[in-house]
Amino acid sequence: MGDSKQPNHHFVLVHGLGHGAWCWYKLTTLLRSAGHRATAIDLSASGIHPTIFRDIHNFDEYAKPLIDFLVSLPHDDRVILVGHSFGGLSLALAMERFPNKISLAVFLTAFMPDTASPPAHVINEDYTLATTLVRVGSFFQEELTNLPAFSMGRYGSVDRAFVICGEDKIIPRDYQIWMLENYAVEVVKEIEEADHMAMLSKPKELFELLMEIAH
């Protein structure tokens, strides 16, 4: 008789600007209780990462902890990336660099670039204004505007899913839908009553969706 047990996955959780690994604490508890591995990353100058924001000179340096983590994985390990908000751009960079190490990328009400426009194309002005109140920092707007689009052969080759948060006031539902219309996604789910911080306000619902998407 075959083994019907669901496979265990390794989820790597990537926060948005002004947050840190701490924002995933409810979700990591649920994932680990279900037998999965969960790693929440502090990007540079975020959470308890010791770097000072003014010492970060470009987007690569900001995303370096995620990139370093993926480099450290055994060559045959594949992870599920989950990126929130501005963390979607860190996901995209990781997908471009290491498509073979990522089995699935989940954009949780996150900026999701396409393969035709510079990465900054998806950052809306309202988000830029709102998050300047959270923490002094840079959106690397000029750099991301001048970077080439992510490639179809690498970034575009990774399976993607998008989780819409229906009550998000930072990245409104209409804007999330625009990103999906701009760049089609294989799997789209929605938590209708979730605000921008779904991992804190609707952790159980998010966990259940991730289980559905991963399996």
In the chain, the percentage of residues whose pLDDT exceeds 90 is 69
Q: What is the pLDDT of residue 51?
A: 75
Active-site residue identified among 15, 36, 84, 85: 85
| 141 compared with 167, residue with greater pLDDT | 167
Mean pLDDT of 201-215: 97
CATH topology of domain 10-214: Rossmann fold (3.40.50)
Task: Identify the weakest region by mean pLDDT among 37-51, 80-94, 121-135, 146-160.
Answer: 121-135
Map out the domains of the chain as residue ranges.
Answer: 10-214
In the chain, the percentage of residues whose pLDDT exceeds 70 is 88
| Full DSSP string of 118-136 | -GGGG--HHHHHHHTTTSS
10 Å Cβ neighbour count for 120? 18
This prediction's pTM: 0.90
168 is catalytic: yes
Task: Identify the weakest region by mean pLDDT among 38-42, 66-70, 140-144, 150-154.
Answer: 140-144
Element (H, E) at 202: none
85 is catalytic: yes
Cβ–Cβ under 8 Å, residues 157 and 99: yes
